[in-house]
Chains A and B, each alone.
Chain A
Amino acid sequence: MRIELSEEAKELVKKYLKTEKQKTYNYDFFIDEEKYIKWEDVDIGMEAWSERVFEVKAEDVEAYLEATENYNPIFRDEEFCKNTVWGKPIAPPMFLTTIAFWLVGDSFVGSWVKTPGAINPGQKIEFYEPIRVGDVIRAKMKAFDKYIKRGKRYLTYYVEYVNQKGDLVAKWWATLILPLTKSHEEHKIEGVWR
């Protein structure tokens, strides 16, 4: 039996979908679950460039600022920024999250980040060139480490983000705790086996 996102969840998501990217993104992470790379399939050292690129549009940054209740003029006010070292608005540092999820798509090497039930234990990131509207970002991902701690399966990817000029934007050591098996969480539901 296939697990699906509940109607209640879908309703709420639809209410907040605004940008072109949001509207074309598959928001039901159960649908392609079979395609996501699993913890046991990852070989350390596996490396790949993202198949997609992220073209930074004003609406992408605006939606992110709104959702994070960020009202700093540095991230949106052209006039204000002229009198600062930034010259013009930049995207907030953690806008990188949106870029990361867009770039992994449905079957890319980092698709495990979409595994239902995956837990975020914390992240380490170094920031370089700021991201601005109009930039085109892509990423190189490398399987960096996997280990089991207190019975939990950790996976770390090392990801370098670069812009259209080839400038390094960020280095991200992205770690998640993955469920024991893909359907591990669902096994807890009485009567549901796949």
Chain B
Amino acid sequence: MVRFSEVELEQPLPTIVAKVTQEMITKFACASLDFNPIHIDPVWAKKVNLLGYGKTIAHGQWTIDKLTQVITNWCYVDGGRLKSIDIKLIHPIFVGDTIKFMGKVVAKHPRKKDSFCEIELWAENQNGEKVAVGVAEVYLP
């Protein structure tokens, strides 16, 4: 059980790993309705030499979703709840990448009602490059 009183600073949250394919990106496009050609059209991405790579990129919203899954997997069953997220996407994610989504507790804010903690969130690719960084505030029971 995840409890505010028992959570410790620097405590890691369970990591999520995902492999990126064009199928996965297009599937997310359909589910999120974000059909930007930057994500779904390899032919166009090659033509415009997108970001100098000429390849489609995964949705930033997919990355943000996976980072929030680090939180929801960790504490939602026990009644934890996201208060806010502030995430920066700092490096593009391409087909073929394997991304790790991670989090750790960095602050605790005890309150009479609705105590919450701060979770540092980040994602990195197979080369150890950070692709996203941010922070989430999470209410814990």
Contacts and interface: CB of A to CB of B under 8 A. Distances in A.
Asked if A pairs with B, the answer is: yes
B109 interface: no
Given A17-B30, A25-B33, A121-B89, 18 more contacts: A5-B40, A9-B44, A12-B26, A13-B40, A16-B26, A22-B30, A63-B31, A64-B32, A72-B72, A72-B76, A94-B65, A97-B61, A114-B35, A115-B36, A121-B88, A125-B85, A127-B83, A130-B81
13 contacts: A16-B30, A66-B31, A72-B76, A75-B72, A92-B69, A94-B61, A118-B36, A119-B38, A123-B61, A124-B84, A127-B81, A185-B50, A186-B48
Contacts of B43: 6, 8-9
Interface of A: 3, 5-6, 8-9, 12-13, 15-18, 21-22, 25, 27-30, 63-64, 66-70, 72-75, 84-86, 92-94, 97-98, 101-102, 114-127, 130, 185-186, 188-189
Given A12-B23, A94-B61, A6 B42 contact: yes
A125 B23 CA distance: 28
A12 B81 contact: no
Given A124-B86, A189-B47, A92 B35 contact: no
Contact of A117 (B33, B48, B60, B86): B48
Contacts of A93: 68, 72, 82, 85
Nearest to B89: A122
Interface of B: 18, 22-24, 26-38, 40-44, 47-50, 59-62, 64-66, 68-69, 72-73, 76-77, 79, 81-90, 132, 134, 141
Contact of A3 (B44, B85, B86, B87): B44
Nearest to A90: B76
A30 to B, nearest CB: 7
A97 B41 contact: no
A67 B30 contact: yes
A103 B37 CA distance: 19
